[in-house]
Amino acid sequence: MRYGIYGGSFDPVHYGHLLLAESGLCGAKLDRVIFVPTGVPPHKQHQKHLPGEIRAEMLESAIAGIEEFLVSRFEIERDPPSYTVETLRHFRSKLLDAELFLLVGADMYYDLPNWYCASEILQLAVPVGVHRPGYPPPHVEVLSGVTSSERLRIFRDYIVEMPLVDFSATKIRQNCSSGKSIRFQTPHVVENFIHSRHLYEEP
C-alpha cells in the first residue's frame, strides 16, 4: 500500500485542500491519503486555531464516503508542538509494509530543508511536490543539501500538478467574521457545519 500523509491546520478545510489531496492521490498513484490536522506546529505556536477535534470533524464531514481519504487524530491528541518527523515515525511504526509519501504544496516544498530533522523526513517518506497557484513549480534540487543523490532521483518522479484554483482558509475565516459568503469555497456540508456552530464569527 502507498499512503500519502497530508498535514495542515485545515482551519477550515476547503476545496484547495481537497484538490491538492486528489492531485497527489492520482499523480503519485497512491492508495490512500491520510489527512493529519496539526496540533500546534512549532512555527505557529502563537497563532490561534479552532480546537483540533472540531477541525477533524470538519475534515471527516468533507471526505465522507471517499474510501481513499482518511483522517488521523495523531497530532491533535499528543502533546505540542507537532513535528512532521514524529508524525512520520508514528506512521512508519503502524504501517510497517507501506510506502510513505508526504504531500506538500510548492511553498512548503521549498522550505523542507529548514524543517526539523529534514534528512530523516526524506528517508521516511518521499515528498510529493504539488504545484500550486502563485508559486514556482517544485524543483528537487532544493533538497540536495539534506538527502542523497539516489533519493533525489526517486523524488523527480513525484512532482504533480493541481488545478490552478486559489482558495484560502484565512480568507474563509475573514469572510465568516465579516458576514460574507463562503459558498463554493468549501464543501456544502462544511459550510453548514461552520454556520450552525457560528465558527469564526466575531463575538
Q: What percentage of the chain has pLDDT greater than the value 90?
A: 84
| pLDDT value at residue 60 | 98
DSSP class of residue 179? T
Residue 139 has pLDDT above 80, yes or no: yes
pLDDT surpassing 90 at residue 166: no
The tens digit of pLDDT for each residue in 101-128 reads: 999 999 899 999 999 999 999 999 999 9
The CA-atom distances, in angstroms, between 90 and each of 36, 75, 163, 174, 179 are 12, 10, 31, 34, 40
- pLDDT exceeds 60 at position 187: yes
Which is higher by pLDDT, 122 or 136? 122
The predicted structure's pLDDT at residue 199: 96
What mean pLDDT comes out for the span 170-193?
95
**Is the distance from CB of 146 to CB of 152 less than 8 angstroms?**
no
* Nearest partner of 107 among 134, 82, 72, 87, judged by Cα: 134
Question: What would the pLDDT profile of 62-102 be if each residue is shown by its tens digit?
Answer: 999 999 999 999 999 988 888 999 999 999 999 999 999 99
Q: Exposed, middle or buried by CB within 10 Å (0-12, 13-18, 19+), for 29?
A: exposed
Instruction: Give residue 165's pLDDT band: very low, low, confident or very high (50, 70, 90).
Output: confident
**Going from the N-terminus, what domains does the chain have, and what CATH number goes with each?**
2-167 (3.40.50.620)
Cβ neighbors of 147 (< 8 A, separation 6 or more) are 119, 122, 123, 155
